Amino acid sequence: MHPQWKRQFSCFDLVAKTDQRPRGIVRVHDIEIGGDDVIVMAGPCAVESERQLLETAEAVAKAGARILRGGAYKPRSSPYAFQGLGVEGLKLLRKASEATGLPVVTEVMNEADIDRVAEYADIMQVGSRSMENYSLLEALGRCSRPVLLKRGMVATLEELLRSAQILAQAGNPRIILCERGIRTFETTTRNTIDISAVAVLKMVSRLPVIVDPSHAAGMRCLVPILGRAAVATGADGLLVEVHPVPEQALSDGEQSLTFQEFRSMMDDLQPYVSIQREARRLRPQLLAVGAD
């Protein structure tokens, strides 16, 4: 590991990579995140209706997604935008999970909602806007569900790992890191995907790292390309927004894939996934190189 990174990150001892603990795998039912397979989590930005969610869950499951995503509590930038269905959305997520067998990841925005969300969700998502909400993180430390921790849109990797350390210190070591694009001066995309974040996080931390190409791109034509780049860089999984009719979506329609586009993305991803699987089989050698 680069000496600068060792100095910078070794204080986050519960989440840093060490010779004794090279990688942490987060298990959700029979799925291993951070294991040999690339795990794709997909579904709508927001749960809007039973039909929208069930159709999407079935389509993404058929195309190879392993986990269903969907927001019931939405942290929207505008107070006038759709804020999510709340508990009704959580119930629909559980129903879709039972229909398809896919575990569910959904966002929790508020400490007071943790128990309710945990009743329905398999993975608790901490959104970009909440990455530094330390009281939320501490409360999630006491939660028995794994946490998907999204990088804040203006957060450094040190700040992301600090939040992960807080969660682990509070008692919850089952953490998945997520790069979702950061704010830069570039305006052609919604955010700028920080692809080196994937490589750095994989080298300095023992936590699984996934990438959300949807919020990074902000437009659907780029999502499959960024997804492939993420997998080629060693991401353990992807988080992808999919909607039956993106033009009618109540949130993030421009970056949501249609069912057909998602199927094509999954097909085109296969060669990259196979190469990664093989690379992981050879992990001891790769780790030795990465450790220099």
- Interface positions, 230-269, toward Mn ion (CB under 5 A): 252
Binding mask 73-112 for ligand PEP (x = CB under 6 A): --x-------------------------------------
Question: What is the maximum alpha-carbon separation in the chain?
Answer: 53
* Residues 179-208 close enough to bind ligand PEP by CB under 6 A: 180
Region of 90-98, 121-129, 222-230, 281-289 interacting with ligand PEP (CB under 6 A): 121-129
Q: What is the dihedral of CA 87, 191, 260, 224, to 10 degrees?
A: -130
CB nearer to ligand PEP: pick between 212 and 236: 212
Q: Is 220 in the site for ligand PEP (CB under 6 A)?
A: no
From residue 23, alpha-carbon distances to 144, 159, 273 in Å are 20, 20, 19
Number of Cβ within 10 Å of residue 236's Cβ equals: 28
Which residue, 178, 127, 162, is CA-closest to 14? Answer: 162
Residue 141 interacts with ligand PEP (CB under 6 A)? no
The verdict on 64 binding ligand PEP (CB under 6 A) reads no
- Residues contacting residue 222 through CB under 8 Å, at least 6 positions apart: 189, 213
DSSP 200-224: HHHHHB-S-EEE-HHHHHSSGGGHH
Q: Which is nearer to ligand PEP, 155 or 229 (CB)?
A: 155
Binding-site string for ligand PEP from residue 145 to residue 184, where x marks contact by CB under 6 A and - marks none? -----x-----------------------------x----
User: What letter represents residue 3's amino acid?
Assistant: P
Question: How far is Cα of residue 74 from the mean position of the Cα atoms in its chain?
Answer: 16
Binding site for Mn ion (CB under 5 A): 45, 252
Binding site for ligand PEP (CB under 6 A): 45, 71, 75, 127-129, 150, 180, 212, 215
